[in-house]
Amino acid sequence: MPKRRLKRVNRRHIKRDAKMPFSQGVVVGNTLYLSGHIGLDSETKRVPADIPTEVHNLLKDVRSVLKEAGMTMDDLVYVQVYCPEISLWESFNEVYRTYFKGDLPARAFVGSGKLLFDAHFEFQAIAVKS
């Protein structure tokens, strides 16, 4: 039982596909909570053959959700990258660095099991308007 009444905070859900069991992002006050993103090709709905293309797809998608919340990549603070082939760390980083102007967010890069769509990367994050 709650000991005290909690103050209500407005929230906004960013959705792309009503059939999917998640919102792309949830904005609460100054904070955006993002869903796991993978780098599917927007036409084929498959992971592209080329790793840098997959990372670009993923990060452009993340950037578009941030934009809907009035934020940029530099507002990211807490990032998880899940990757079933840990040796792809540097390939991911090469593209990742190019998406930021300022200091980079805190990040974990975690070896995972097999991901949805056989993706090489899944990316989840929290952003705070800076």
How many residues sit close enough to a copy of itself to count as binding (CB under 8 A)?
A: 62
Nearest to 96 by CA among 45, 50, 59, 49: 59
**According to CB under 8 A, which one of 34, 47, 58, 73 is a site residue for a copy of itself?**
34
Q: Is 63 in the site for a copy of itself (CB under 8 A)?
A: no
Q: Which two tokens stand for residue 93?
A: 């980083």
Window 87-116: contact mask with a copy of itself (x via CB under 8 A): --x---x--xx-----xxxxxxxxxxxxxx
Q: Least distance from C-beta 73 to a copy of itself, angstroms?
A: 12
The 3-state DSSP class for residue 40 equals coil
- Touching a copy of itself, residues 8-27 (CB under 8 A): 8-13, 15, 21-26
The 3-state DSSP class for residue 43 equals coil
Nearest to 50 by CA among 91, 110, 87: 91
Nearest to 75 by CA among 65, 66, 84: 66
**Cα–Cα distance for residue pair 106/91, rounded to 1 Å:** 18
Q: Least distance from C-beta 15 to a copy of itself, angstroms?
A: 7
Contacting positions for a copy of itself (CB under 8 A): 1-3, 5-13, 15, 21-26, 28-30, 33-36, 68-71, 77-80, 82-84, 86, 89, 93, 96-97, 103-116, 122, 124, 126, 128-130
